[in-house]
């Protein structure tokens, strides 16, 4: 699988198409039927993609696919096309590269949609645009769910920055929070950065403003940048207190790896789906885990150093 760069000419055409489609559908009323809307939340490289793929492969939920994501400003249209041209069920392909999945029906992060909805012009902690009103976000989410005729699951890194605001605006939102040890996350981030050629001076995943957090990192030190990134994102994650919320389920990556079928059934329950074991019997009974690395000690030291600087 190749990590392809964006095509500016295609992006421009897509922006025009989405603008026109929004004008066509913007006055459609909100659907009467309300479905639970799941949001997978976690740090980058915490296992959110494989969890998304497993849920999409159950056939019990709708999800934005690589195909549907082209129509991010009219997501119901994308959902209808996904159903007509392919399926509401993703194949059980658990491969991915830096969060991107293969094939038109592979689950997609739907980043353009969520950045616009929550007031971000880039994949960054800073809110630098006006978010959509809650009723508009709900209309779009429920229109998509009604096109699928089922609850819909999204992968949404920005949700942990706006959790209370989102929950207050829609009682139908549910949050699936995936937790993984920071050393494993940071090591995985470093590996994928190297694989796809990310500059040491740039963030990969949800970016943070180091200066505003009082942090200083050399431009050529990718390890220090990643260490500061993960500790700050962990603060956002922990502040959400997912284990104390009725609308949330906190999942440890180790539990997902050891028992993916049981974990998926628990998540379906959060979405008010009374699924039986036959709905997950085609899923793997365990997931491969990352073996310990000689670099883990170095990564751990960098994380502790970043914590001390932050304190």
Q: Is the pLDDT of residue 215 over 90?
A: no
Residues 182-191 have pLDDT tens digits of: 999 999 999 9
CA 131: distance to chain centroid? 18
What pTM value is reported for the model?
0.95
* Residue among 258, 256, 276, 278 at smallest CA distance from 268: 276
Q: Is the pLDDT of residue 286 over 70?
A: yes
Residues 9-67 have pLDDT tens digits of: 999 999 999 999 999 999 999 999 999 999 999 999 999 999 999 999 999 999 999 99
Whole-angstrom distance, CA of residue 217 vs CA of residue 252: 30
Residues 68-100 have pLDDT tens digits of: 999 999 999 999 999 888 765 666 788 999 999
Residues 155-178 have pLDDT tens digits of: 999 999 999 999 999 999 999 999
- Kindly state the tokens that stand for 55: 């849920």
% helix / strand / coil in the chain, to the nearest 5?
A: 50, 10, 40
């Amino acid at each position: 699988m190749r990590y392809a760069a964006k095509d500016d000419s295609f992006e421009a055409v897509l922006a025009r198409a989405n603008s026109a489609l929004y004008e066509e559908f913007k006055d459609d009323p909100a659907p009467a039927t309300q479905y639970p809307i799941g949001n997978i939340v976690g740090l980058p490289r915490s296992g959110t993609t494989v969890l998304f793929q497993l849920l999409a492969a159950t056939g019990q939920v709708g999800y934005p696919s690589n195909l549907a994501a082209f129509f991010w400003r009219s997501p119901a249209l994308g959902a209808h096309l996904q159903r007509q041209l392919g399926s509401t069920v993703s194949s059980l392909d658990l491969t991915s590269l830096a969060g991107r999945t293969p094939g038109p029906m592979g689950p997609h992060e739907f980043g353009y949609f969520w950045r616009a909805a929550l007031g971000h012009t880039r994949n960054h902690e800073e809110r630098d645009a006006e978010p959509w009103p809650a009723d508009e976000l709900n209309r779009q989410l429920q229109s998509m769910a009604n096109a699928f005729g089922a609850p819909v699951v999204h992968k949404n890194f920005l949700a942990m920055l706006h959790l209370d605001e989102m929950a207050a605006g829609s009682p139908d939102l549910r949050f699936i929070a995936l937790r993984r040890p920071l050393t494993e996350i940071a090591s995985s981030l470093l590996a994928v950065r190297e694989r796809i050629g990310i500059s040491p001076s740039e963030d990969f995943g949800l970016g943070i403003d180091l200066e505003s957090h009082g942090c200083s990192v050399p431009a050529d030190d990718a390890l220090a940048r990643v260490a500061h990134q993960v500790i700050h994102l962990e603060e956002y994650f922990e502040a959400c207190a997912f284990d104390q919320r009725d609308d949330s389920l906190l999942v440890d990556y180790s539990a997902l790896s050891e028992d993916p079928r049981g974990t998926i059934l628990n998540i379906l329950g959060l979405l008010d789906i009374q699924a039986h074991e036959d709905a997950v019997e085609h899923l793997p009974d365990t997931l491969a885990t990352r073996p310990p690395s000689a670099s883990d000690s170095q990564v751990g030291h960098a994380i502790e150093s970043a914590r001390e600087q932050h304190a």
